């Protein structure tokens, strides 16, 4: 029975759907997490009787052939890059991006990763680092004698040193943007990596044309909307049930055949 | 004399094929821009030795229901839904194909592609190139793609007179023998995707109907077998005369 195979592809697809949704819900409180969606595609079609084939010697043509699809597959999961809401933390090294862009982070292997999670800290040597201790690029060193640090919307890092009245500029945070954010690869730990699909990054100072601005003392929350996720979860569950109903029906029809005397 | 059995069988094999069709509709309830299908049945007249003719069942076709799905917001720049009867034109390297699934991406050469990797065509039948300079891409209802004040191109959207001639090619793609016409009644919606037009209720109803019809034919076959058996028994025994 072909319907059994078709329904099983449907159940597998819905299972993937539930997995994507559960990962979203699990990351509801992850800083700057972007929710994912699963995208599906129908499989190939069998032409049991082709449209346009002749149905008699007189040349009459079949107006609509018989096409049978063989199911569904997961085509992709993609990120929804909607802005998450900003949460006030009052932490002086917490930075949120409002608008487009990613912070650049230097991984221990020398590669650059990208993140919107701006919950930064200062290392022993005064460098601005992520929660994992990876350096933010371009490197910024905050002098140990600094008594106040201000990071403005356009990414300038200004420190006030003990005994001085004027603030001095110790660096400039730059953002990277990708034309196709959805093509970035996940590396876990809120980090993203460049791929062929995302294209190369272009970097510039925050608030320049097309780039977002920085907000000190805020972090970006995840953009997971629990109501939306629960609705999707219910839809996925019902679709799963519907597919299992097809399997049940196919099974009962096969049982009917077995009962024929 | 065994005609009844063959007629029953023709109905059962048609029902089994329809079950596969309903299964495919249900499997694709979450597929963007999927169009559900229904089966067509017709009687197939056969001459017999007797006066009257017999009608076998044949499932002579499947029809794609091109009713639009609802539009779902996705917030993605390259998710584009069509409001109206239009289709996007994509090129798989061999021939133009048509799709309503506007879940597009960029390839390494910055060209707009479908989820399958086929190139999306502009109104001059060329691939669409999106520069990677961080400017926000806007797609207007008529398909014009612009980055700020600069126009980058225009998506080709076409319409067809006879949708019944469109054949599915998998991966949300359609093929047709008809020449496309420029779209007049279609508008694009950026940041949206069209959902599948499969209705759970009608598919479930059809599922029950198929199963019960199948059982009905089976009962008919049982009765026919019983009738044959008893007639053979009666006619074959000497007491019957």
What DSSP string describes B101-123? --B-EE-TTSBEE-TTSPEEBBT
**B15-35 core/surface letters (b: 16 or more CB in 10 A; e: else):** bbbbbbbbbbbbbbbbbbbbb
Q: Quick check: A2 and A228 in contact, CB under 8 A?
A: no
Query: Is B40 part of the contact surface with chain A (CB cutoff 8 Å)?
Result: yes
How far is B42 from chain A, CA to nearest CA, in Å?
13
Q: CB under 8 Å to A220, separation ≥6 — which residues?
A: A31, A32, A83, A84, A85, A86, A87, A96, A97, A116, A117, A118
Residue A85: predicted pLDDT: 92
Q: Quick check: A40 and A239 in contact, CB under 8 A?
A: no
Q: What's the rounded Cα separation, in Å, for the pair A76 and A109?
A: 29
- Confidence tier at B216 by pLDDT (50, 70, 90): very high
Query: Is B114 part of the contact surface with chain A (CB cutoff 8 Å)?
Result: no
A177: which chain B residues are within 8 Å (Cβ-Cβ)?
Answer: 134
The one-character DSSP state at B124 is T
Q: List the single residue in A197, A238, A250 with the smallest CB-CB distance to B19.
A: A250
In a structure prediction context, what are the per-residue pLDDT tens digits for chain A, which is 261 residues long?
Answer: 789 999 999 999 999 999 999 999 999 999 999 999 898 989 888 877 655 556 666 666 665 667 888 899 998 888 888 889 999 998 889 999 998 899 999 999 999 999 999 999 998 888 999 988 999 988 888 888 888 889 999 999 998 888 788 888 888 999 998 877 777 888 888 999 998 777 788 889 998 888 899 999 999 999 999 999 999 999 999 999 999 999 999 999 888 888 766
Residue A186: predicted pLDDT: 87
Q: Indicate yes or no: CB of B26 within 8 angstroms of CB of A259.
A: no
In which element (H, E) is residue A117 found? none
Q: List the single residue in B30, B75, B164 with the smallest CB-CB distance to A64.
A: B164
A179: which chain B residues are within 8 Å (Cβ-Cβ)?
Answer: 106, 110, 130-134, 137
Q: What's the rounded Cα separation, in Å, for the pair B44 and B98?
A: 34
Residue B97: predicted pLDDT: 94
Burial grade of B100 (CB within 10 A; 0-12, 13-18, 19 or more) = buried
Helix axes A226-259, B3-27, angle to 10 degrees: 160
Instruction: Select from A168, A171, A172, A200 the least CA-distant residue to A184.
Output: A200
Closest residue on chain A to B15 (Cα): A253
Mean pLDDT of B219-230: 90
Percent of chain B predicted with pLDDT > 90: 49
Query: Is B118 part of the contact surface with chain A (CB cutoff 8 Å)?
Result: no
Q: What's the rounded Cα separation, in Å, for the pair A68 and B202?
A: 19
Q: What's the rounded Cα separation, in Å, for the pair A203 and A206?
A: 9
Q: What's the rounded Cα separation, in Å, for the pair A143 and A127?
A: 9
Q: What's the rounded Cα separation, in Å, for the pair A46 and A71?
A: 11
What are the DSSP E strand ranges found in A1-115? 36-42, 45-49, 66-69, 72-79, 86-88, 95-98, 102-106, 112-115
Instruction: Select from B107, B103, B79 the least CA-distant residue to B93.
Output: B107
Q: CB under 8 Å to B162, separation ≥6 — which residues?
A: B178
Q: Quick check: B125 and B195 in contact, CB under 8 A?
A: no
How far is B206 from chain A, CA to nearest CA, in Å?
11
Residue A29: predicted pLDDT: 93
Residue B160: predicted pLDDT: 93
> How many interface pairs between A and B have CB atoms less than 8 angstroms apart?
223
Q: Indicate yes or no: CB of B107 within 8 angstroms of CB of A41.
A: no
Residue A184: predicted pLDDT: 86
Q: Indicate yes or no: CB of A66 within 8 angstroms of CB of B59.
A: yes
Closest residue on chain B to A223 (Cα): B75
For the record, the structure tokens of A256 come out as: 């009917």
Closest residue on chain B to A195 (Cα): B108
How far is A248 from chain B, CA to nearest CA, in Å?
10
Q: Quick check: B61 and B40 in contact, CB under 8 A?
A: yes
The yes-or-no verdict on residue B232 having pLDDT over 70 is yes
Per-residue pLDDT tens for B138-156?
999 999 999 888 899 999 9
Q: Quick check: B194 and B32 in contact, CB under 8 A?
A: yes
How far is A252 from chain B, CA to nearest CA, in Å?
8
For the record, the structure tokens of A147 come out as: 């008594």
Q: What's the rounded Cα separation, in Å, for the pair A39 and B180?
A: 28
For the record, the structure tokens of A190 come out as: 């809120």
Mean pLDDT over the full length of chain B: 88
Per-residue pLDDT tens for B92-122?
888 899 999 999 988 878 889 998 889 999 9
Q: What's the rounded Cα separation, in Å, for the pair B177 and A186?
A: 43
Q: Indicate yes or no: CB of B62 within 8 angstroms of CB of A66.
A: yes
Which residues is B112 bridged to in the sheet? Answer: B106
Count H helices and E strands in chain B, helices first.
2, 18
Cα A44 to chain centroid, rounded: 28
Residue A26: predicted pLDDT: 95
Which residues is A185 bridged to in the sheet? Answer: A193
Query: Is B19 part of the contact surface with chain A (CB cutoff 8 Å)?
Result: yes
Q: How many CB atoms lie within 10 A of CB A205?
A: 15
Q: Quick check: A25 and A37 in contact, CB under 8 A?
A: no
A49: which chain B residues are within 8 Å (Cβ-Cβ)?
Answer: 60-61
A248: which chain B residues are within 8 Å (Cβ-Cβ)?
Answer: none
For the record, the structure tokens of B138 come out as: 């806007």
């Amino acid at each position: 029975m072909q319907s059994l195979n078709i329904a099983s592809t449907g159940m597998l697809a819905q299972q993937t759907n539930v997995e994507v949704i559960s990962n979203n819900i699990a990351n509801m409180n992850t800083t700057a997490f972007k929710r994912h969606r699963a995208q599906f595609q129908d499989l190939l079609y069998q032409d049991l009787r082709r449209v346009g084939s002749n149905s008699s010697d007189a040349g009459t043509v079949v107006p609509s052939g018989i096409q049978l699809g063989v199911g569904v597959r997961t085509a992709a999961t993609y990120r929804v890059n909607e802005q998450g809401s900003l949460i006030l933390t009052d932490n002086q090294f917490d930075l949120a991006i409002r608008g487009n862009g990613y912070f650049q982070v230097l991984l221990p292997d020398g590669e650059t990763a990208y993140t919107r999670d701006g919950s930064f800290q200062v290392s022993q040597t005064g460098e601005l680092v992520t929660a994992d201790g990876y350096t933010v690029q371009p490197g910024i060193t905050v002098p140990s004698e600094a008594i106040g640090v201000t990071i403005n919307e356009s990414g300038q890092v200004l420190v006030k040193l003990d005994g001085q009245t004027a603030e001095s500029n110790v660096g400039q945070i730059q953002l990277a943007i990708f034309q196709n954010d959805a093509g970035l690869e996940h590396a876990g730990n809120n980090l993203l990596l460049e791929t062929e699909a995302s294209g190369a990054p272009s970097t510039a100072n925050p608030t320049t044309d097309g780039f977002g601005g920085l907000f000190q003392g805020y972090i970006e929350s995840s953009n997971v909307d629990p109501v939306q996720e629960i609705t999707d979860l219910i839809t996925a569950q019902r679709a799963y049930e519907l597919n299992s109903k097809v399997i049940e029906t196919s099974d009962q029809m096969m049982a009917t055949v077995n009962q024929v005397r | 004399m065994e005609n009844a059995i063959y007629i029953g069988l023709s109905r059962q094999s048609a029902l089994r094929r329809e079950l596969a069709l309903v299964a495919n509709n249900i499997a694709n309830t979450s597929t963007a821009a999927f169009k559900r299908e229904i089966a067509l049945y017709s009687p197939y007249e056969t001459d017999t030795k007797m006066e009257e003719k017999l009608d076998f069942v044949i499932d002579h076709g499947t029809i794609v229901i091109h009713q639009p799905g609802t539009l779902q917001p996705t917030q993605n720049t390259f998710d584009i839904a069509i409001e109206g009867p239009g289709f996007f034109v994509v090129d798989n390297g061999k021939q133009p194909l048509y799709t309503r699934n506007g879940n597009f991406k960029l390839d390494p050469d910055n060209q707009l592609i479908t989820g399958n990797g086929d190139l999306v065509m502009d109104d001059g039948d060329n691939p669409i190139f999106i520069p990677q300079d961080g400017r926000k891409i806007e797609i207007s209802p008529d398909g014009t793609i612009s980055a700020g004040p600069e126009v980058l191109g225009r998506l080709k959207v076409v319409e067809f007179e006879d949708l019944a001639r469109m054949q599915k090619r998998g991966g949300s793609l359609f093929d047709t023998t008809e020449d496309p016409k420029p779209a007049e009644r279609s508008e694009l919606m950026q940041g949206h995707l069209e959902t599948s037009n499969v209705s759970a209720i009608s598919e479930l109803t059809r599922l029950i109907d198929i199963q019960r019809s199948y059982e009905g034919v089976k009962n008919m076959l049982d009765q026919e077998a019983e009738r044959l058996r008893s007639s053979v028994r009666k006619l074959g025994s000497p007491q019957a005369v």
